[in-house]
Structure 1
Amino acid sequence: MANPLQLKSLNHISIVCASVEKSVDFYVNVLGFSPIKRPSSLDFNGAWLFNYGIGIHLLQSENPEGMPKTAPINPKDNHISFQCESIAAVEKRLQQMKIEYVKNRVEESGTYVDQLFFHDPDGMMIEICNCDNIPVVPLTEDKVWSCSRFNCNIQNHQQQIQQMIPM
């Protein structure tokens, strides 16, 4: 598999916010991120958060009133996705927090991925899923990636298929 830029992992995503404070509250109390120290040379309002091996950098908008209005929840729109242990537990918690969401289900050969989509305070779409139910199968290689929350294992595609077929 080619890696022309010798990338190692996703480091962070940056999100422009109408209110950094409201967004910090959301990412900490809804998604479980923790605030971390920002470099003191950054001379603009923002916050850095970290969890699950990735960072989220929140940047205060220079024109909060001019930010786009939140669109209806659309699973086919730009979003960031997090895997979870229990979709039912996430759905129950979203209901308790009175967060509007949309459910979706993807099926591949009898295996299902359940998805919940909702917005952060600025309209950034968030997906919570059990996406690790379906292996990542490259279209150009003879390998299967099975990705859990903390690691990806590459297996020979034939070995993966043999493990799926009962003898």
Structure 2
Amino acid sequence: MHQNQLLTSRTKELPARTMTMHHVCLVVSDIAATRDFYVNVLGFEEIHRPTDFVFHGAYFQNGDVEVHVVRETEPGRLARNTPGWEAEELRTGLCHHFAVLVDSFEPFLAAMRERGLERVGGPRVRDDYVEQIYIADPDGHVIELLCQHTPEAGHARRIEIFDLGIAVPVAPGYPVTDPRAKYGVLCGG
């Protein structure tokens, strides 16, 4: 069977060829603290949640992104069962997380600073000029914030974070490479 025919036959066997992500569900310890974070740090709006649910929770939405949260069934269970990510795993994003595309990191980082919080990982600018940082909600759920740069701005930002000493490697155990050595210097760069 030809490669294209094989791919076409596999596609026809799938139950659905296109999907839309509906929501992420997180177990949390404190609905009020979670509400404050998702509404006042990430800019989500709290939306209607089915009233026939017998367990505590809340629904949040920002654009097409929905985050549903449910309160842990036993107080302290979440804290006793954390993944225990190493600092380097958090710093590089090699951990469970969900990601949202944003226009700028600054409003989110400013709201976090107001609460005495800092990012847990990043920054890194990928080869496609997407910058990544990682933040954590009150229960340690990691959220990746992505910001798309133009090639020129992405290259300049890659050099800036390297020179500031805050760029992170692609994964634990890998070095941070000087972007001038790897990608060269663009005009004016």
Mapped to 2, the partners of 1:40 and 1:93 lie a distance apart of 31
Match of 1:123 among 137, 140, 143: 140
TM-score by length of 2: 0.60
| Candidates 104, 114, 118, aligned match of 2:123 | 104
**Normalising to structure 1: TM-score of the pair?**
0.67
Q: How does 1:122-141 map onto structure 2 within 5 Å?
A: 122-131=139-148
Stretches of structure 1 that go unaligned for 5 or more consecutive residues are 135-167
User: Is the contact made by 1:87 and 1:115 (CA closer than 8 Å) also made in structure 2?
Assistant: no
Runs of 4+ in 1 over 6 A off after TM superposition: none
2:125 maps to 1:114: no
More helix by share: 2
CA-based RMSD: 2.5
Counterpart of 1:103, as a letter, is G
1:57–1:87: structure 2 CA closer, same or farther, 3 Å change rule?
closer
How much identity, in percent, do the aligned residues show? 27
- Please name the residue that 1:138 is paired with: none
Deviation at 1:133, TM superposition (A): 5.8
- Say yes or no: does 1:82 pair with 2:93: no
Query: 2:37 is matched with which residue: 26, 30, 46?
Result: 26
Change (3 A) 1:48 1:99: same
44 and 26 in structure 1: CA distance in 2 versus 1, 3 angstrom threshold: same
State yes or no: 1:61 paired with 2:79: no
